[in-house]
Amino acid sequence: MTPLWTARAIAAATGGTASADFTVQGVAFDSREVAKGDLFIAMKGEATDGHKFIDKAIAAGAAGIVCETAIDHPHVRVADSAAALNALGIAARARSHARIVGVTGSAGKTGTKEALFAALDRFRPGKAHRSVKSYNNHVGVPLSLARMPGAADFGIFEMGMNHAGELAALTRMVRPHVAIVTTIAPAHMEYFGSEAAIADAKGEIFEGLEPGGTAIIPFDSPHHARLRAKAEQHAAHVVSFGFGEGADVRAVDWLPDGQGGSLVTAQVQDALLCFTIAQAGAHWVSNALAVLAAVKAVGGDLPAAGLAFAEMGGLAGRGARHRVAVPGGEIRVIDESYNANPASMAATISLLGDESAGRKVAILGSMKELGPDGAAYHEGLAAPLVAAGVQFALLVGEEMAPLAKALEGRVDFEHVPAHAAATARLKDVIRAGDVVLVKGSNSVGLSHVVTALTNGDY
């Protein structure tokens, strides 16, 4: 097996000194994620120092260490481990012949990244690489780059931000051939103040495009013109996707397939493609259109992408579905617990409205980082809940108080302070036949509620 990195290559990339010859097959900076044959990068963080976990990493099978002190294990000693991680990511990008795609947006980043990986991996099995989980920040992006095999033909990297300038730094490291903005929505509003400012910050992804690169932007967004103007400064090609007439990649028709997914007919520039998406909802159709635009831009295969959409299961925290036996029958759980903003909340609540169920139950957690208009955004969820026919809402977090007030006399609800209190109420509020949507910002911890529901531990 060709090694991912040799000690000599690590030392050359980081400017460090190798204590011995060794090879590694993976890279990690969290000792809990170290697998046999990995390189463990011991970094000093705000809360702890990775050097304290070197022995744990070695016990887990680490083949080498990047560290700032001399140790008795095979290692490359560097002046600054965090800078070394960046350097290793940059070196991985420099040695790669892969076609690189960068993905950002206020919602849909991870789902789009995973769907694009599935499409390209089906086209060339084993030759596509992507960032895992939501490793999309100043440490996750270089880690994901450092993990990219030299023989990869495609690399897909998610990039996130919550301040202006952050995405510009990440995209110049990734140097994508194709850059996707999935959508613009009021997320991180406390740092930006307006959606237009968010659009400007997301548009920074185009600054790192390679010469001849392609920008892929949402046609139906009210910020389409703003994104296009930014893209045209850096991209040789600008491709739009969406539902409206005039989009370069457009959903000509789509409808539910009756099995929790969607049937879609899409015009992909000069090609017409009919396919099934395993996930339901207009937001997933939109994600698929962005993926098709990227597949075409990097020379992939559109029919293979269509097959990949049909095979994709839901992602934990981002649409995974579970059927759980309960006394008297079963419940269905829709896990959207990883993240939430006003746009994704409204879209997912609408999706719940399309479900056939004895009752539609929404367990909703606070939306974070919305700034001074946060109360209005939470209150604004009342209309989608009523329109979806939700019979009961369990609201979690103090920010949900305006929504609780707006629901009085319209939808039955309870309002609790935290996920533990929500879990404690499940036994009394959930019954056979329910379809239960769980959605909120990750910091609210509704993944614990999902675990309790799916394990029957309540």
Is 91 part of any domain? Answer: no
Question: What domain range includes position 37?
Answer: 5-82
Q: Which tokens sit at 68?
A: 């700032």
CATH of the domain at 299: 3.40.1190.10
Q: Round to whole Å and give the CA distance between 419 and 446.
A: 6
What pLDDT, on the 0 to 100 scale, is given for residue 188?
65
CATH of the domain at 61: 3.40.1390.10
Q: Which tokens sit at 390?
A: 């939700």
Q: Are 66 and 10 in contact (CB under 8 A)?
A: yes
Is 87 part of any domain? Answer: no
Q: Would you put residue 403 in left (φ > 0), alpha (ψ -120 to 50) or beta? A: alpha
Lowest mean pLDDT among 90-99, 219-228, 305-314, 423-432: 305-314
Q: What is the mean pLDDT of the chain?
A: 94
| Mean pLDDT of the 417-421 span | 96
pTM above 0.85, yes or no: no
Structural domain tally of the chain? 3
What is the pLDDT confidence band of residue 134, given thresholds at 50, 70 and 90?
Answer: confident
Which of 311, 338, 363 represents a domain boundary (last residue)? 311
Do both 302 and 346 map to the same domain? Answer: no
Which of 311, 333, 350 represents a domain boundary (last residue)? 311
Q: Round to whole Å and give the CA distance between 81 and 99.
A: 28
Do both 224 and 253 map to the same domain? Answer: yes
What are the C-alpha distances in Å from 265 to residues 113, 154, 220, 350, 452? 21, 26, 18, 22, 38
What is the pLDDT confidence band of residue 189, given thresholds at 50, 70 and 90?
Answer: low
Do both 114 and 257 map to the same domain? Answer: yes
Do both 34 and 115 map to the same domain? Answer: no
Do both 169 and 207 map to the same domain? Answer: yes
